[in-house]
Structure 1
Amino acid sequence: MSLALDPASQDLLFREAHTARSFTDEPVSDKTVETIYDLVKLAPTAYNTSPLRVTVLRTGPARERLLPLVSRSNRPRVAAAPLTAILSADLHFHEKLPTLMPALPTLKDDVYGDAEVRESQALLNTGLQMGYFLLGVRAAGLAVGPMSGFDAKAVDKEFFGDGRQRSLVLANIGHPAPDAYGPRAPRLAADEAITTL
């Protein structure tokens, strides 16, 4: 079976794309990041909750605040990337629901008034949006190196002191350097991951 997406686009998003470990020094503009977000924001989340927040850090003071909070092995990659995005969950996403889901005006309180439900849904739907965002970066012809090797609680305190956001992933973004990609690690075969009942 063939897919509707042409093979070159499939290669760009999946087959030829890898987690990038190094980048050129070519900058990535704010407009490019906004264009990526404007594409991926259209992908689905439950009740259009859209809890992903993207905090873009470039070289300079913001990057210097982040580096001590990143695992030692990841620091050189973060320091050298044109930009690093903190991908975080807005734990108060429900406040935007009157705008995002006007057809259900009581959704904010009826479903998401409970803090425990709200937090679990924020994390679930941010996870979805992070995947979309990483593919959006690839769709823009850029490379991305997502990582979890950082002190998330310290990042939250440093960058989101009000407790409204929870950082989940750091993503280095840029144009891939010639040595950006290592060998692709194995993946599970379809019959190992899919169960039909």
Structure 2
Amino acid sequence: MGTPLDDAALDTIFRSARTYNGYLDTPVREADVRAIYDLVKMGPTSANQQPARFVWCLDQSARDRLADCASDKNADKIRKAPAAVVIGMDEDFHEQLPWLFPHTDAKSWFDGDAEGRKVSAFRNGSLQGAYFIIAARALGWDTGPMSGFDAEKVNAAFFADRPKVKVNFISTLGKGDPATIFARSPRPDFEVFNRIA
């Protein structure tokens, strides 16, 4: 059973955390992204599918390639960020289930069901993308998740050798510059979008 986090930790992960449009000049290193992923992989996915595939763009040339796939405003954010991440999803994730979920023959659940695999890869890969944001924040980093890119271009640039892997979304990563954020958008009270049945 877990222990509730204190207010400072909750602020870091949720209440004070923001989506950043720009970053301070603090480098993101391989050890940093490995630490983030070591938390991401612990988040739950259905039958431990782990369908997300991450490409960590730490080199400027990789960020430039990603920026070339994005809208003008997003391209500028990507080029100037200390790091960017492509969050992909493997539509053939089931091939890994014999070792990821050895309790039963989970691979057979998805054999011959390409559409079902796409749905599951998107759902569980999106969960892992959210875990990435939370893990980065928990370790003192900030993110700028975004749409606004040409998915076919991203797939060609980063997943050409793995045609069953498709981009879900992309994000910048670094130490956020407070001068680059807007006022926080409204957050609804419980009663607005919730009901108890």
| TMscore range, shorter length | over 0.9
Aligned to 2:102: 102
In structure 2, relative to structure 1, the CA distance for the partners of 1:75 and 1:111 (3 Å cut) is closer
Aligned to 2:175: 175
Cα drift, residue 196 of structure 1: 1.3
Cα drift, residue 6 of structure 1: 0.3
Cα drift, residue 63 of structure 1: 2.1
Q: Which residues of structure 1 form unaligned runs of 5+?
A: none
Looking at structure 1, the residues matched to 176 and 86 of structure 2 have their Cα atoms a distance apart, in angstroms, of 19
Aligned to 2:152: 153
Question: How do residues 34-45 of structure 1 correspond to structure 2 at under 5 angstroms?
Answer: 34-45=34-45
Q: Which residues of structure 2 form unaligned runs of 5+?
A: none
Looking at structure 1, the residues matched to 85 and 106 of structure 2 have their Cα atoms a distance apart, in angstroms, of 30
In the comparison of the two structures, how many residue pairs are matched? 194
Question: How do residues 39-54 of structure 1 correspond to structure 2 at under 5 angstroms?
Answer: 39-54=39-54
Question: How do residues 12-161 of structure 1 correspond to structure 2 at under 5 angstroms?
Answer: 12-104=12-104, 106-161=105-160
Looking at structure 2, the residues matched to 44 and 20 of structure 1 have their Cα atoms a distance apart, in angstroms, of 26
Q: Percent of aligned positions with the same letter in both sequences?
A: 36
Looking at structure 1, the residues matched to 111 and 6 of structure 2 have their Cα atoms a distance apart, in angstroms, of 40
Looking at structure 1, the residues matched to 128 and 6 of structure 2 have their Cα atoms a distance apart, in angstroms, of 23
Q: Is the 8 A contact 1:55 1:85 kept in 2?
A: yes
What residue identity is the alignment partner of 1:154?
A: K
Give the TM-score, by structure 1 length. Answer: 0.93
Give the TM-score, by structure 2 length. Answer: 0.93
What residue identity is the alignment partner of 1:47?
A: A
Q: Is the 8 A contact 1:59 1:79 kept in 2?
A: no
What residue identity is the alignment partner of 2:38?
A: D
Aligned to 1:195: 195
Tell me the secondary structure at the aligned position of residue 145 of structure 1: strand
